[in-house]
Structures are given as C-alpha cells and as structure tokens.
Amino acid sequence: MTLFTDSIFLTNEMEGFEKCRDTRFDTSTTVLLCTKGHIDVSYRGEMIRIDTNDVFIRVPYATEKGPFQWSDDFEFMQVSIPISLYEELMFDHMRVEPRWWQKQEYLKAHPIFHLSEISIEFCRVYFHLLELQLQDKQSDYRRQIMMLIARGATMELLNYLDKTLVLGELDVERQSVNSSDYTFHAFTHLLREHPHMREVQWFAKQLNITPKYLSEICKERSGRSASEWIADVTVTELKNYLRKTTLPIREIARVMEFPNASFFCQYTKKHTGMTPNHFRKMKEA
C-alpha cells in the first residue's frame, strides 16, 4: 500500500520505498519502522542496519542516495514529508520547538532507535490514522487533520528524546561546537523568544554580527535564509489566527505587533498570495 499527497508520502511496500527515493521526498524527513526482518541502507557514506523494532529517522540534509538491501522477511511502515512540512511541525503553537537544533543534530548522528512495545504501538496507530485520512479524499479538512496527526507523532518523538537521552548529549556549549552552529542555535532561540520581531537586522544586532553573515549561517545550516525563517514563523502564526479564530483583522494585526491593519494585509498577500479575508474563506483539502 502506497498513498501520498503533496504533503505526505506513506508506504509499507518496497515499490513505494524505492519510488520515494526517486522523488523530492528523498531529501526530506523520513520515519521508517522496521516491523520484521531488517534492511541495510546507505547513510552518510556508510551502510547501517535497521533491525526489527528499530525506527530510522532521517532529517533533512542528513544523507544522500545510496545502495540498500533487505532481508526476505523484511516488513516496514514508512512516512516521508517535505522539508516545508517538517519545519512547520517544529513550530508548536506558533513557536520554534525548544532545542530543535540540538535534537536535529543528535538525530543526524544517531538516526536509529530500538523502540519499546508501547512506542511501537504508538507508531502503528499514527500510521493507521494517516492511512485512513489519505484514503478519505472527500474530507474538506483532510490536510488539517493530517497535520494534527503528524504533529501528535512529532510530539511523541520529541517526548521520547527528552525522556531517553542524557541531557548532556543534547546540550550545545559554545566551546564544543563551531561558531556557525552556535550562532544558528542562538538565532532560533531568539526567534522563539521574540516571534514578533521581523527584521533580520534586529536579530543580527543581538548576536553582534552583520545581517548578511546571519543569513549566510542560516543558509549553510538549514538551507533557508534568516528572512525566510522569520517569515515562516510569522506566516505560520497569521495563518493560525485566520483559520482558527474569529478575531477581526485589525485585532490580529495588533496582537502580532504589525504597525497597522493595512500593513498586515499587505504582508499576508505577499506571503500567501491572498488577502486575509480571502485566505480566511478558503478551505484546504
């Protein structure tokens, strides 16, 4: 069974596994649970084995295409999502997930976890819920529901990391990382603490670097510029207000600290292609 939309690719068959590696999902986030047998895959230049009850998590930019080989009894469940959705899921209630950068770096170095029975059951449940939603093409709220399911699964993963890993393994000290890693981590922390600041210059000033250098670091570490990161936070928040509340446009602009409603409308149209009122009336499939 292989099901997919523009946002999610779900499969439990080798044909789907191979197809996923030949699409844009190849550079995106993939979560693969091995339920039987094993598979050997190329990861960061080395062959690694994913055994029964192992979950393999590949975050963006962590690896490249390479050979793979599986056992005759290999069975699995896999979900892949594009980079844009992965980054959206790292915003919990419109805020950057705390210590997101450290957790991502840890996952790059340690992509395989051996799960307990209850964790495996959680994976099966989330996989089945996504499967049902992908099959239900008549729902006007399908994407929103799938986002909630994916967010729940993401929170389970982050909770597992928080409970299982030694805190020292996730702590990023200035002396133990290069300066660009530290600066990018500091930027995402500032972005979480000050989500309504929309000027690259302001963040650069707090970090005592130039706006150009900050954008170069963000591009190097995440593939996105500082302004794109800031816009992602702002757009995620304004979409949430427009979709999930009945607040007047003027009030949303005030809460999000825009100079006025007119500027808020211009910003929304620039980043979504629609006016706030038009966006609010739209229903996503």
Q: What is the pLDDT of residues 207-251, one digit of tens each?
A: 888 899 999 988 887 788 999 999 988 998 898 889 888 899 999
CATH topology of domain 2-168: Jelly Rolls (2.60.120)
Q: Where in the chain is the domain with CATH 1.10.10.60?
A: 173-285
Give the closest residue to 5 by CA, choosing from 81, 57, 90.
81
pLDDT of residue 262: 94
Q: Is the pLDDT of residue 259 over 90?
A: yes
Residue 175 binned pLDDT confidence (cut-offs 50, 70, 90): very low
Q: Is the pLDDT of residue 61 over 80?
A: no
Cα distances (angstroms) measured from residue 61 to each of 80, 201, 221, 281: 14, 27, 9, 36
Q: Where in the chain is the domain with CATH 2.60.120?
A: 2-168
The Cα 30–Cα 125 span in angstroms is 17
For the segment 150-167, what is each residue's pLDDT rounded down to a tens digit? Answer: 888 888 887 777 776 654
CATH topology of domain 173-285: Arc Repressor Mutant, subunit A (1.10.10)
Q: Helix or strand or coil: residue 94?
A: coil
Cα distances (angstroms) measured from residue 176 to each of 95, 170, 207, 285: 26, 12, 18, 46
Q: Helix or strand or coil: residue 16?
A: helix
Contact between 262 and 249 under an 8 Å Cβ cutoff? The reply is: no
Q: How far is CA 252 from the centre of its chain?
A: 25
